[in-house]
Chain A
Amino acid sequence: MQTSVSVKNLTLAFGAVKVLEGLNLDVGTGEFLVLLGPSGCGKSTLLNCLAGLLEISEGQIFISGKNVTWEEPKDRGIGMVFQSYALYPQMTVERNLSFGLRVSGMPREEIEKRVARASEILQIQPLLKRKPAELSGGQRQRVAIGRALVRDVDVFLFDEPLSNLDAKLRSDLRVEIKRLHQRLKNTMIYVTHDQIEAMTLADRIAIMRNGVIQQLDTPHAVYNNPVNLFVAGFIGSPTMNFLNGRIDGSTFSIDALNIPLGNYKFEKDGVGKLDGILGVRPEHIAVGEDAKKMPFQLDSEIEIVEPMGSDTVGWTKVAGQSVTFRCSSDIPLAPGQKITIGFDPARGSLFDAQSGVRV
């Protein structure tokens, strides 16, 4: 895969505080990369560095094979979409779209052609004569995307573009962004703290924490094989169950309870004995009849039931530790009810309790 954006050893420091340190990242041409992480993890900062809006302290940035480390934002071949839309309030939609082109002194016919194309792609032709104040949130964000589109750039940068919209609009525009990517096949780098956006849009997800990329992989791999406790806990809703216990060869024991690990694929052989944490996704825990097919079963009692509509989340205890499971909403559940739960430890994740790293 050809690289479109390449970050080498990037460090950004504000005085003594290093927000990003020695960060490396390669994004393939046409790839949709999502930077995901909690607030303050440095994901937006990284995006601003790529855009050239923040001056980096050390390292290099390459975009489309060109070293742009010292280039102005306009010369980097990027378009950017902001959370707050950042439309110019006193200009019409048309002039918002064409502002960058007019500034660069492009011929009028070319500007008109590009504005027409962008407004056709985003279906905002009827809005061209309006001011941003007369547009809804979704329309504004579409115009903001259009402003990046007319610049005909290789790389699109999105800084939490959907966070200001309500839930319904957000899912609509999410699909539109995906459709846009499939049509344009540009490289897109997308910052969000919303894991659903990340999972649905990304070719690869980079999960960040404290300025460090924890894991960079496909959504499937991030979800099923989280490299550490942070990633495991950050991805998935409801969050993964963590059971504290002890790993002893092919058994995971919590006090008197022994869970055979069966076919679990260790990162490397011969882990030996250590304090560990077993992570099991709520949706991988079966109840009732289904539980009987699972390699590991346990009788338990339901404490709390949360009906979600499409499915139900139940709370119970395994060896005194709280566990949630997710099952079909057709299964009748009530607090105090005795049930059998079961799961396949091979689908779970084992972590070193000390370091939090997957074993």
Chain B
Amino acid sequence: MTAEALDATGFAGPHGAKPKQLSWGRVGIYAFLVIAALFFLVPLYVMLVTSLKSMPEVREAHIFNLPREPTIQPWIDAMFNACTGRNCTGLSPGFWNSVKITVPSVIVSIIIASINGYALSFWKYKGAEFFFNLLVFGAFVPYQVVIYPIIIGMSKVHLFGTLPGIIIVHTIFGMPLLTILFRNFYSSLPIEIFKAARIDGAGFWQTFFKVMLPMSVPITVVAVILQVTGIWNDFLFGLVFAGTENIPMTLQLNNMVKTTQGTIQYDVNMAATMLTALVPLIIYFVSGKWFVRGIAAGAVKG
């Protein structure tokens, strides 16, 4: 035996679990992540603290300071009292308009897209591939290109500037991506389940509602998140198609912040912006876990 020292446990040389070491590479990665997080969080922090200050305190221009006398009055003003021109209703009409646009658009587009995806995956009719490729192509068409033709079309059927009109527009533009999403999800399911349902005598709709739809929860959650954030944050379509009656929250926020009369109410503007961003944020927080799971499911098996 060489004179290699035995330690207290009676082993010579390396044994057991390898000790953890903090390498410089790791430190670098963490440093980068912290900086990246700060990059996005600092503006949010400034917005939050500003929205909780009163105007005199905002004018002191210590933007990083915590509010001395925290107040939620700016938030209330933003929602109910702030003026857009002469119209002092706050953001609430825009909020309800956005709800009226988003909810039906999300529901209708997801129902149609899931049926599309289901039919494209399981009921392969003649030309199904061509139709699918057309849809995929549709996902790459820039919105701005087709806005003008759609305006003409919409006004021909008297839907331009109406609530159903903007819902139809959102549904159409959501269709390519959502159909791809659902088709890939259904294609990843074992085809035998579909065959078994056919042998059990279930038809097109029975198979869809009783067998496929209950299995589609993860991908439906993904679709809901994509659509709610997309439609809620939309500005362009709202501006063009919604009409003055139905302007969404994003549009009203813009109008409110841009029209200045006298002093700019930074606190109210900050609160209004955060209020507008709140709905997609809540959706993310509530369903983030599902979202990641659904995306991963589609990615690996799709």
Chain A residues near B (Cβ < 8 Å): 48, 51-53, 72-74, 78-80, 82-91, 99-100, 103-104, 147, 151
Interface of B is mostly: helix
Let me know if B202 is at the binding interface, CB within 8 A: yes
Interface string of B185-221 (1 = CB under 8 A from A): 0000010110111111110001000110011000000
Q: With A and B bound together, what is the CA distance between A240 and B202 in angstroms?
A: 47
The answer to whether B214 and A78 touch across the interface, beta carbons within 8 angstroms, is no
Chain A residues closer than 8 Å to B214, beta-carbon distance: 90-91
Partner of A103, one of B193, B195, B202: B202
Chain B residues closer than 8 Å to A103, beta-carbon distance: 200-202, 206, 210
Q: B196: nearest residue on chain A (CB-CB)?
A: A86
Q: A150: nearest residue on chain B (CB-CB)?
A: B200
The answer to whether B192 and A74 touch across the interface, beta carbons within 8 angstroms, is no
Partner of A88, one of B195, B199, B211: B211
| Beyond known contacts A73-B195, A87-B196: 19 more, CB 8 A cutoff | A48-B195, A51-B199, A53-B198, A53-B199, A72-B198, A73-B201, A74-B200, A79-B199, A82-B195, A86-B193, A86-B195, A88-B193, A88-B197, A91-B214, A99-B202, A100-B199, A100-B200, A100-B201, A103-B202
The answer to whether A147 and B215 touch across the interface, beta carbons within 8 angstroms, is no
Q: A99: nearest residue on chain B (CB-CB)?
A: B200
Chain A residues closer than 8 Å to B198, beta-carbon distance: 52-53, 72-74
Partner of A86, one of B190, B201, B210, B215: B190
A-B contact count (CB 8 A): 61
Q: With A and B bound together, what is the CA distance between A51 and B202 in angstroms?
A: 14
Interface of A is mostly: loop
- How many B residues touch the partner, as a band? 10 to 19
The answer to whether A83 and B192 touch across the interface, beta carbons within 8 angstroms, is yes
The answer to whether B215 and A89 touch across the interface, beta carbons within 8 angstroms, is yes
The answer to whether B192 and A73 touch across the interface, beta carbons within 8 angstroms, is no
Say how far B275's CB is from chain A's closest CB, in angstroms.
38
Chain B residues near A (Cβ < 8 Å): 190, 192-193, 195-202, 206, 210-211, 214-215
Q: With A and B bound together, what is the CA distance between A147 and B198 in angstroms?
A: 13
A-B interface, 4 closest residue pairs, ranked by CB to CB distance from nearest? A100-B200, A74-B201, A86-B192, A82-B192
Q: With A and B bound together, what is the CA distance between A115 and B248 in angstroms?
A: 54
Q: With A and B bound together, what is the CA distance between A53 and B198 in angstroms?
A: 8
Partner of B190, one of A48, A51, A84: A84
Q: Give the interface centre of B199, B201, B210 by most chain A CB atoms within 10 Å.
A: B199
Q: With A and B bound together, what is the CA distance between A85 and B195 in angstroms?
A: 11
Q: With A and B bound together, what is the CA distance between A85 and B206 in angstroms?
A: 20
Chain B residues closer than 8 Å to A51, beta-carbon distance: 195, 199
The answer to whether A147 and B193 touch across the interface, beta carbons within 8 angstroms, is no
Say how far B214's CB is from chain A's closest CB, in angstroms.
4
Chain B residues closer than 8 Å to A91, beta-carbon distance: 214
Say how far B30's CB is from chain A's closest CB, in angstroms.
38
The answer to whether B195 and A53 touch across the interface, beta carbons within 8 angstroms, is yes
Say how far B199's CB is from chain A's closest CB, in angstroms.
5
Could you show 19 A-B contacts with beta carbons less than 8 Å apart?
A51-B195, A53-B198, A72-B201, A73-B199, A74-B199, A80-B196, A80-B199, A82-B192, A86-B192, A87-B193, A88-B193, A88-B211, A90-B214, A99-B197, A99-B210, A100-B202, A103-B200, A104-B201, A147-B196
Say how far A291's CB is from chain B's closest CB, in angstroms.
51
Q: With A and B bound together, what is the CA distance between A51 and B200 in angstroms?
A: 11
Say how far A43's CB is from chain B's closest CB, in angstroms.
16
Chain B residues closer than 8 Å to A88, beta-carbon distance: 193, 196-197, 211
Say how far A76's CB is from chain B's closest CB, in angstroms.
9
Q: With A and B bound together, what is the CA distance between A85 and B192 in angstroms?
A: 8
Say how far A350's CB is from chain B's closest CB, in angstroms.
43
Q: With A and B bound together, what is the CA distance between A80 and B196 in angstroms?
A: 7
Chain B residues closer than 8 Å to A151, beta-carbon distance: 200
Q: Give the interface centre of A78, A82, A84, A88 by most chain B CB atoms within 10 Å.
A: A88
Partner of A78, one of B193, B199, B215: B199
Say how far B187's CB is from chain A's closest CB, in angstroms.
15
Chain B residues closer than 8 Å to A85, beta-carbon distance: 192
Say how far A131's CB is from chain B's closest CB, in angstroms.
11
Chain B residues closer than 8 Å to A73, beta-carbon distance: 195, 198-199, 201
Say how far B124's CB is from chain A's closest CB, in angstroms.
11
Q: B211: nearest residue on chain A (CB-CB)?
A: A88
Say how far B37's CB is from chain A's closest CB, in angstroms.
37
Q: With A and B bound together, what is the CA distance between A214 and B59 in angstroms?
A: 92
Say how far B123's CB is from chain A's closest CB, in angstroms.
12
Say how far A53's CB is from chain B's closest CB, in angstroms.
5
Chain A residues closer than 8 Å to B201, beta-carbon distance: 72-74, 100, 103-104
The answer to whether A84 and B211 touch across the interface, beta carbons within 8 angstroms, is no
Say how far B179's CB is from chain A's closest CB, in angstroms.
23
The answer to whether B196 and A82 touch across the interface, beta carbons within 8 angstroms, is yes
Chain A residues closer than 8 Å to B199, beta-carbon distance: 51, 53, 73-74, 78-80, 100
Q: Give the interface centre of B190, B198, B200 by most chain A CB atoms within 10 Å.
A: B200
